[in-house]
Amino acid sequence: MTNKEAFGLAKKYIPGGVDSPVRAFGSVGGEPFIVERGEGAYLVDIEGNRYLDFIQSWGPLIFGHCDPDIESAVIATAKKGLSFGAPSNLETRLAKLICDEFKNVEKVRFVSSGTEATMSAIRVARGFSGKDGLIKFEGCYHGHSDALLVKAGSGATTYGNASSGGVPADVVKNTYLARYNDIESVRAIFEANPGKIGALIIEPIAGNMGLVPADNEFLSELRRLCDQNGAVLIFDEVMSGFRASRHGSFEFNGIEADLVTFGKVIGGGCPAAAFGGKAAIMDCLSPEGAVYQAGTLSGNPVAMAAGIASLSKIFAD
């Protein structure tokens, strides 16, 4: 079967023929090739064509496809069971690896995707602060949960409008849009909504509008404004965590966020993500607190084993 034939068949059973829109090649032209296997720095399609893979599954495969250490950990764990729906020591081991590296991350909860991580971090931030308002930034992508699929309203410092079909206006009415690296746009939102902003989320190194790092002075002022207004500062490090440096953006800005979201890398190629931060905030989560969050496959043993193998190699030096 050719790539074209296989993609045509996929479109018959899968919307657009893909399970994530970027895979459809809409922004780069042509049709996608269909992957047969990965080998280190390369992908091989079903026609036997070989490609140098600069994407590496959008980030998590720091050591390339089929890294022998990660592969061995996955195989050994899979032989013991794919999913338990109960705690395992693998979760604790991976959580400890993360907490030991990030001094502002005292506790971690695992989920299965970056979207879950940011969605859950915002929920616990609102639960902790007791306020519904959320500030996010134009150009930053934090997953596809309803409250984050927004575009600018009448001005960048007003509440956002839904940017996707199926997202009710009421869901995004508490999401306010600011401009990246523009502290005045953030200050204006706080001033216009006194006592309403409970959380602020930002990619400290933005990866969805090109590679744009936030100015250190800008991040420092965000930290000050959040402290001054009783808002929880969330750094979305799903893309930059363990990749920009072993400590994500912290190596460059030295700013301690209240909550941090991680993804991709901590699963070593398996579906895994996490959010973590100060114990006082994280303890608001059920079963200790009133903020509910759950997932049958959260802390999946195979993904945890892959993450331990991957992060252990990153931290080996």
Amino acid at the residue 121? A
- Summarize the confidence of residues 77-84 as an average pLDDT: 96
4 is catalytic: no
Active-site residue, from 107, 141, 176, 180: 141
Active-site residue, from 107, 131, 136, 264: 264
The H-assigned helical ranges of 166-249 are 183-192, 216-229
- pLDDT tens, 100-132? 999 899 999 999 999 999 999 999 999 999 999
| pLDDT at residue 158 greater than cutoff 50 | no
Percent of the chain with pLDDT over 70: 96
pTM metric for this prediction: 0.92
141 is catalytic: yes
C-alpha torsion sign, points 21, 23, 28, 34: negative
Q: Rounded CA gap, 143 and 119, in Å?
A: 8
